[in-house]
Amino acid sequence: MTTFVLVPGFWLGAWAWRPVTEALRAQGHDVYPVTLTGLAERAHLATPETDLDTHVTDVVNLLRYEDLADVVLVGHSYGGLVTTAAADRVPERVRALAYVDTGPLPDGTAQADFAGPEDRAGSEKVVQEYGDGWRLPPPPWATLAADVRHVEGEALAALAERSVPQPWASAVQPVRLTGAWERFPRLGILSSFTVEQTKAMAAEAPLFRHMAGDGWTYEELPTWHWPMFSRPAELADLLNKHY
């Protein structure tokens, strides 16, 4: 049995992991899906000050107060930045790190840096015009899924109904890492890019330098950026396979 802590990316909560959670529990694992402060059922707690450190503390406190040890931290998208920082803060409670279509960013960088300055500027404009200056609204899910197989109408309806604006401070606060997290083995489950593309990015772009090295094992699960909605059973099977 493995203890998994599942951390979602922007706009989502623990609910997004439900099929993966159920599959892993059926396989005998102990699973803790997380809703970060200001999202999903905790949306009422969102403030302009809800930042990356708030979300790292959410995960660290879960590990401490549930007295979890030997944990596999699973981060999707922005959740990968949160899990990296949590592992760096309490390495004594962590066994391994799994990244779902994401990877660790270097110390001093923010999630908003990932897509480049033009995309960041575009998001900041959306935040100012449609998010009261401090929230990033969810994307048009149906448009993103238009050409994606296995994304059912029920999943799109849930995304439209349950996704909420992301506190923008969580996207722009730089992560602070000591390097303690680097001791852990890492699994990368790649959905919107390939292993070859990942290795090329790691070799060429300093922002992605932590995505190469002997500590990595990669698996490809081709679909869109949210495989927990399009291929949840396969995602759970890959986690079960490695842990």
Residue-wise pLDDT tens digits, 63-102:
999 999 999 999 999 999 999 999 999 999 999 999 999 9
pTM greater than 0.75 (yes/no):
yes
Reply yes or no on whether the pLDDT at 116 is more than 90.
no
For residue 60 the two structure tokens come to: 């660290």
User: In this structure, what is the dihedral angle of CA atoms 148, 150, 152, 155, given to the nearest 10 degrees?
Assistant: -80
Instruction: Report pLDDT digits (tens) over 135-171.
Output: 999 999 999 999 888 888 899 999 999 999 999 999 9
Residues 6+ apart with CB under 8 A from 140: none
Token pair belonging to 11 = 């706009």
Question: Under the phi-then-psi rule, with left for phi > 0, alpha for psi from -120 to 50, and beta for the rest, what region is 116?
Answer: left
> 100 with 235: CB under 8 angstroms?
yes
Do residues 228 and 140 touch, judged by C-beta distance below 8 A?
A: no
Burial label for 231, CB within 10 Å (0-12, 13-18, 19+), is buried
Report which of 77, 76, 220, 231 is spatially closest to residue 151, judged by C-alpha positions: 231
Cβ atoms within 10 A of the Cβ of 5, count? 25
Q: 188 - beta bridge partners?
A: 99, 218
- Helices and strands, counts by H and E, the chain: 10, 8
Largest CA distance in the chain: 47
Q: What value does the mean pLDDT of the chain take?
A: 96
